[in-house]
Amino acid sequence: MKTLAWCGILVACAVAEPLTWDKLVASADEDPVIQASQKKQTAIGGRSCTRLWDDLEFEYTLDGFGFLEHDFELKIKPKAFGEGSADEAYWKSQAEYQRALMNYDRSAVMFERYEHALRYVLRQQIRLIHEQLAQIAADRIEVLQALAGSETFRLQDLVTAMEEQAAISAKLVADSNSMNDSKLKLLSFVKGYDSVSIDSNFLPTIDELKSILKDMPMDAEKYADVAAAKAKWLVNEKKAGQDAAGERNFISKIGVGYKYVHAKYKYKWVTQSCSGSSCTEEWQLQRTDDDRRTQDKFYASVAIRLPFFSGNDNSNLKRQIDVLESERDYQEAKRDLSQKVERLREEILGLIAERDVQQKFVEQVDQGALFEDFATKAGNDPLLLLRAKESSLQSQLKIVQLDMDIFTIYLDMLDRMGALARTDVTNHLKAGPAK
């Protein structure tokens, strides 16, 4: 009984264990998209080695239903000149393309996890500020109700305060709904958890983010879409080389055969000997013996393809167009993403500058200078003191909202740069792109 009780306690503890940030990142390897990409890579890596021929064919011919003559022939279709090396180059490029696609898939999978984790953490911070603003709204209503009947009391101020309280309450409901949605999404990524333990510690500080943006390598070749487009271009290029090599198969077939004859098998017309002018020559069939040597029954065959009027020029032109089109897609993706990433970087730096202004105001309030100024001018007026606290909280709220914009854009930039596909780090936000 004690053993069962301890087992129950251990199971309960295991179930109660919350989902942490490290487990969330590690769960990307178990995502069905990543597993499908890995299977495809494994299939390409496990392909058979290049052979010296394409087809091996065995042909049997029966000459007549007398079953006297049997023809056996083994034929092979040799690879064209240079086709083996072209095949090897194609499959290497295909493997590189699949690696690029897998990095693209991994980046998309990680982006989804980071997106909901960011929303959960920052929305939690916004809800805490909204709760404090709700308390200030309730205190303001209480003060105004206490001032009812005085000369300074205005009913409009009380109505406005009640409207503000209702608006804050609505925002609190929206915060809870947003956090709950993000929590359910995070729990859906990793099975076996019923709570989330993710905080803002995995986020880089603003100073760390400035350093990352300053030292960030702007190498467009590593961007997810650019790498995939380049790999696709190389695949089309090697495929064109493979097809061109395949058309140089001037020798279609090479065969070795053996013709087996059962005993006497042939008939020939012979004349019956006669003499005299009145003799009439008679023809009759006579079976003959197959007196060939065994080695004479073997033979060799070869089929040569004549390339005249084959239309290869049109095929080569079509392949060249496909290669040039994929090269154009690569160059276009490289240009567009280079400009887009640079714009996102400048946008983040602009938001950080705006955040610094708000942060200075909050620090001034936290140091007490603003409260002292209010107290000196207002003479401990509770409404003005509440307004000072509200102003500080609203500035903090703007900072958190700016943080949400900053990290949302930063996450988008990391996704475009392919940094989220890194497997050598556990926190892509703090690590940034590989240098």
pLDDT in tens, 275-303: 666 555 555 656 666 667 777 788 888 87
HSE-up of 135 (CA within 13 Å, CB side)?
Answer: 7
Q: How many CB atoms lie within 10 A of CB 105?
A: 19
Hey, what amino acid is at 32? Answer: P
Q: How confident is the model at residue 14 (pLDDT cuts 50, 70, 90)?
A: very low
**What pTM was estimated for this model as a whole?**
0.77
Q: How confident is the model at residue 319 (pLDDT cuts 50, 70, 90)?
A: confident
CA pair distance 376, 371, nearest whole angstrom: 9
CA pair distance 170, 168, nearest whole angstrom: 5
- For residue 88, report the phi and psi dihedrals to the nearest 5 degrees: -65, -40
- Helix 382-417 and helix 83-146, axial crossing angle in degrees, nearest 10: 180
Q: Which residues contact 211 (CB under 8 A, 6 or more apart)?
A: none
In the structure encoding, which two tokens stand for residue 281, read together? Answer: 């020559």
Closest CA to 55 of 222, 316, 252, 197: 252
Query: Any idea which residue has 């209010």 for tokens?
Result: 374
Mean pLDDT of 129-138: 92
C-alpha gyration radius of the chain: 41
Residue 356 has pLDDT above 80, yes or no: yes
What single DSSP character describes residue 19?
B
